[in-house]
A and B are shown apart, each in its own frame.
Chain A
Amino acid sequence: GAGVSQSPSNKVTEKGKDVELRCDPISGHTALYWYRQRLGQGLEFLIYFQGNSAPDKSGLPSDRFSAERTGESVSTLTIQRTQQEDSAVYLCASSDPAGTNPYEQYFGPGTRLTVT
């Protein structure tokens, strides 16, 4: 089946505008993760969903960041009033807790966000 997909692949926005990033996980994967990766840096955990619930939102950098998931499928990460420091690649991953390797995360290609 298809892997994790993310859209858009690239997004350029002006400072102060809101952006929505979308993640389509692998079908049947109930766990979904969002990460941020700045240039030359490691991955920074943002939020994790189990089903449609987000038991851990501790990684969200500020109240400008929010995420939701519906139907145990698609997730959107919303950044309000974008700032230049929000420029990064936003990666989404999913995993199947009931699978043979429940801790393996499958990553999407990411969305490169540039705030001008």
Chain B
Amino acid sequence: LAKTTQPISMDSYEGQEVNITCSHNNIATNDYITWYQQFPSQGPRFIIQGYKTKVTNEVASLFIPADRKSSTLSLPRVSLSDTAVYYCLRGGGYQKVTFGIGTKLQVIP
């Protein structure tokens, strides 16, 4: 199974940058790293995906070091609406993907 490890929960104040780190020590050569966001009573929503180095989109940045054994999702200047569960996944192809418990981010006013 594609296993990742991430903190169970994090708190942050509004306006701060939030970094959530995920460990994936046994990542395979063809695995990508993908992050999803889930609000209560909704299905997860894709945020960002990368293979190595840095990827940035309008929502977040993803940093993956050279050894690819970890990755960090960076959310700039979070707002209350960013309160959600964030899942880190590793995998490749159109196959079984394992979502862990995720990181519950609570943004505080």
Contacts and interface: CB of A to CB of B under 8 A. Distances in A.
A41 to B, nearest CB: 7
Interface stretch (B17-25, B58-66, B75-83, B91-99): B91-99
**Which has the most chain B C-beta neighbours within 10 Å: A43, A45, A50, A58?**
A43
Nearest to B104: A40
A93 B46 CA distance: 11
Given A33-B97, A55-B95, 4 more contacts: A41-B101, A43-B87, A107-B43, A109-B42
Looking at chain B's contact residues, is the secondary structure mostly helix, strand, loop, or mixed?
Answer: loop
Contacts, number: 61
B46 A104 contact: yes
Interface stretch (A14-22, A64-72, A74-82, A94-102): A94-102
A25 interface: no
A43 B49 contact: no
A42 interface: yes
A105 B87 contact: no
Interface of B: 32, 34, 36, 41-46, 49, 87, 91-102
Interface residues of A, number: 29
Contacts of B94: 31, 48, 50, 95, 97, 102-103
Given A56-B95, A56-B96, A104 B43 contact: no
A61 interface: no
